[in-house]
Chains A and B, each alone.
Chain A
Amino acid sequence: MADGGGWRPPRPCEVYRAEWKLCRSARHFLHHYYVHGERPACEQWRRDLASCREWEERRSAEAQRSLCESERARVQATRKHTLVWALRQSPPADWHLPLPQEEKDQ
């Protein structure tokens, strides 16, 4: 986290509002129930929106801390499962190579 000068919320406040609105929509309820079998939890988006606005209006250190903690938790949640495969350091060497000649001739 970049402290003090230069820090800004990880997402613009209008994005937090859009995510909260989407989360609370009937359509998202249906999608979430269909995938997870339970209702979605949208409260954290509302808290993040409030923190974002608090930062914009008052440059609140507590708002900054709260937002960072919330987003780090989101990132951690995406990384909690061990990957099945090893990630590459560079893309496959043959991705851009031309196709074998016999295939081109067909």
Chain B
Amino acid sequence: MKHSGCAVNRERHFSCEDCNGNVSGGFDASTSQIVLCQNNIRNQAHMNRVVTHELIHAFDHCRAHVNWFTDVRHLACSEVRAANLSGDCSLINEIFRLHFGLKQHHQTCVRDRAILSILAVRNISKEVAQKAVDEVFESCFNDHEPFGRIPHNKTYARYAHRDFQNRDRYYSNI
């Protein structure tokens, strides 16, 4: 985030609030603030995942012209990326939700959770949300910025950070 010009300040860019329903968090592009739902976040692991999810939205807001409120495809893209890269759709989390599947199930989960996330913040039909996700899925599922890979666990995250630190050497020698 800092490298992209959006250094994150805990007091300025995070807000802990009570939320309606079972929403865990959100990113408010109009105030550049991540909202964490203190009444719905269950434990540290859940907190880590929600913060990662919302930071991906913040990262997209920082690096791109995302039309959050006027283009549902843009919203869909960021939700696909957040579900894909935050750990939302890990095998363990899906098993806890009683969603059983192995072969390529991750992609099914990412689609479904992206649609749910869109419906939580936009007054549109499920069909419209689904169409938007379908249109952007190929591009957005394969956009792994800033990690360069899906960070399944700390090892992958560590390797991603190592690649980030090595980027100058990398691009000057290919």
Assess the A95–B32 pair: CB atoms within 8 A: yes
Assess the B139–A84 pair: CB atoms within 8 A: yes
User: Of the candidates A72, A82, A88, A99, which one forms a contact with B64 in the assembled complex, judged by CB atoms under 8 Å apart?
Assistant: A88
Assess the B6–A72 pair: CB atoms within 8 A: no
Contacts of B33 in A (CB 8 A): 99
Most buried by B among A72, A83, A87, A97: A83
Task: State in angstroms the CA–CA spacing of A86 and B142 once bound together.
Answer: 16
The total of chain A residues at the interface (CB under 8 A) is 42
Closest Cβ–Cβ distance, residue A39 to chain B (whole Å): 11
Contacts of B113 in A (CB 8 A): none
The total of chain B residues at the interface (CB under 8 A) is 49
Residue of A nearest to B166 (CB): A11
Contacts of A30 in B (CB 8 A): 91
User: Of the candidates A9, A15, A72, A87, which one forms a contact with B162 in the assembled complex, judged by CB atoms under 8 Å apart?
Assistant: A15
Contacts of B155 in A (CB 8 A): 22
Residue of A nearest to B73 (CB): A84
| B12 interfacial by beta-carbon distance below 8 Å | yes
Closest Cβ–Cβ distance, residue A65 to chain B (whole Å): 11
| A36 interfacial by beta-carbon distance below 8 Å | yes
Assess the B174–A72 pair: CB atoms within 8 A: yes
Contacts of B23 in A (CB 8 A): none
Contacts of A83 in B (CB 8 A): 64, 139, 143
Contacts of A94 in B (CB 8 A): 32
Closest Cβ–Cβ distance, residue A67 to chain B (whole Å): 8
Knowing A37-B104, A85-B66, the reply to whether A90 touches B5 (Cβ < 8 A) is: yes
Knowing A7-B173, A11-B166, the reply to whether A81 touches B107 (Cβ < 8 A) is: no
Residue of A nearest to B132 (CB): A84
Contacts of B122 in A (CB 8 A): none
Contacts of B162 in A (CB 8 A): 15
A-B contact pairs, 16 of them (CB 8 A): A1-B174, A30-B91, A31-B150, A31-B152, A33-B102, A34-B105, A72-B174, A81-B143, A84-B140, A88-B63, A90-B5, A91-B4, A91-B62, A92-B6, A92-B32, A99-B31
- Please give 20 more A-B residue pairs, beta carbons under 8 A apart, in addition to A15-B166, A71-B170: A1-B174, A2-B173, A10-B169, A10-B170, A10-B174, A22-B156, A82-B139, A83-B139, A84-B74, A85-B64, A85-B66, A85-B67, A85-B77, A86-B65, A91-B63, A95-B6, A95-B32, A96-B9, A97-B32, A103-B31
